[in-house]
Amino acid sequence: MATTMTSNKLNLYLLPLIIASLATANLVSATVFTLQNRCPYTVWPGTLSGNGAAVLGEGGFAMFPGALVQLTAPAGWSGRFWARTGCNFDEAGNGNCLTGDCGLLKCTGGGAPPVTLAEFTIGSSVTDKDFYDVSLVDGYNVGMGLRATGGDGDCQYAGCVTDLNANCPPELRVTDSGSGVVVACKSACEAFNAPEFCCTGDHATPQTCSPTQYSAMFKSACPAAYSYAYDDASSTCTCTGSDYLITFCPTGSS
């Protein structure tokens, strides 16, 4: 009897510690994304989650200049973020955007190219690596910087801080029909829909799909971003146990 009582007392003592440890483990394994708008105009971030993962920020919302928004993702989360510009929505959340459009305030799918993307695959445990990048494979609309905070490993900075719209070749430009201002820069794949630019058909492998003059231009302007589909070696970043700061217009320019 004494042994049983001692064992019960020990279990009662350990139970709160076990619960606290589990709670701490869950807290540590969550990843916090801080979105910052340094553009001189409102952006409407869109979010897309993969593999049935939790939808962050209900899929989309508005951010005024200078705004900060924090979103928490569970372990194992994968998905992407992008900025939409020139949006108009009604009270029901229906509407459209000039760039990055998904047809709704709260996106249920990806943004229409051309659009700059921040992409993530978060580790399933606190010891697993996160993989992340900033991609111009779908073109460019807004400058973006991506910085890991508080993690271990290489934890490289990713992003495109150069305003590609200012130097976009005429054949890739997307302009505002009202003002004629360049609002986005297409990828060569979207502009020409050819296998050598899209890495499809006979060009569907890293060996047969090489950089083009357009992807080389993107890479020269933004060396810390994906420039075309097989730009993995210099563009995929890793970090362990990190949170992330995503900045739209990191230089503060339009």
Dist. CA 254–CA 251, nearest whole Å: 9
Structural domain total, the chain: 1
In a domain, 12, yes or no: no
Dist. CA 210–CA 247, nearest whole Å: 30
CB atoms < 10 A from the CB of 173, how many?
16
SS3 sequence of 197-242: HHCCHHHCCCCCCCCCHHHHHHHHHCCCCECCCCCCCCCCEEEECC
Dist. CA 153–CA 142, nearest whole Å: 28
Write the CATH number for 232: 2.60.110.10
In a domain, 4, yes or no: no
Domain with 119, as residue range(s), is 30-167+219-248
Nearest to 82 by CA among 101, 54, 65, 58: 101
In a domain, 124, yes or no: yes
In a domain, 123, yes or no: yes
In a domain, 135, yes or no: yes
pLDDT tens for the chain, 254 residues long, are 444 444 454 444 444 444 444 444 444 579 999 999 999 999 999 999 997 888 999 999 999 999 999 999 999 999 999 999 999 999 999 999 999 999 999 999 999 999 999 999 999 988 999 999 999 999 999 999 999 999 999 999 999 999 999 999 999 999 998 889 999 999 999 999 999 999 999 999 999 999 999 999 999 999 999 999 998 777 899 999 999 999 999 986 55
Where does 107-228 have alpha helices with state H? 188-192, 195-198, 213-221
> Cα(first)–Cα(last) distance of the chain, in Å?
76
Contact 145, 157 (CB under 8 A): yes
In a domain, 36, yes or no: yes
In a domain, 50, yes or no: yes
In a domain, 212, yes or no: no
